Amino acid sequence: MREHVLEREQRLPGPPERVFEFFADARNLEAITPPWLRFRVVTAGEIEMREGALIEYRLRLHGFPVRWRTRIEEWEPGRRFADVQLSGPYRLWHHTHTFERDGDATVARDRVRYALPLGPLGSLAHTAFVRRDLERIFDFRVEAVRRALDFNSA
């Protein structure tokens, strides 16, 4: 299994506790995910974010419907959390979110460790489109988060 890493970092207005609160609200995922994915949180009821919380999503990847289920594996309010895929399109998906104070702002970091199924076919898919797709998704997310938090701080 070949493991890949995707990282993004951005400086956002406000203290880590406030930025963490935005990221920790699973319902905000729909607003910061590109519309072409048709991403929806489908977990019934309120989601109590904590270690062990389960979240279910539906989305479309290149037109194909995908169900995705994650579990919050690490939970340190105001500092960091990590989600892992229990079922979905990846063989491995481990997404760590960290938040560090930087003066009157916060540096938010995403680090995703992921691997694809299907051996050599998965490697070919990664080269052909998966890496590029993930970069586009996370680039969109960086801008969407910035806009949301700039708006909320006004």
CATH code for position 69: 3.30.530.20
pLDDT given for residue 150 in this prediction: 82
Total domains in the chain come to 1
* Alpha carbon distance 33, 59 (integer Å): 10
Helix (H, G, I), strand (E, B) or coil at 77: coil
| Predicted TM-score (pTM) of this structure | 0.92
79-112 pLDDT, tens digit per residue, is 999 999 999 999 999 999 999 999 999 999 999 9
Q: What is the CA radius of gyration of the chain?
A: 15
Q: Which range of residues forms the domain containing residue 111?
A: 3-153
Query: Following CA atoms 134, 140, 142, 145 in sequence, which dihedral angle do they give, to the nearest 10 degrees?
Result: -130
Q: What number is the average pLDDT over the span 127-142? A: 96
Q: What number is the average pLDDT over the span 10-39? A: 95
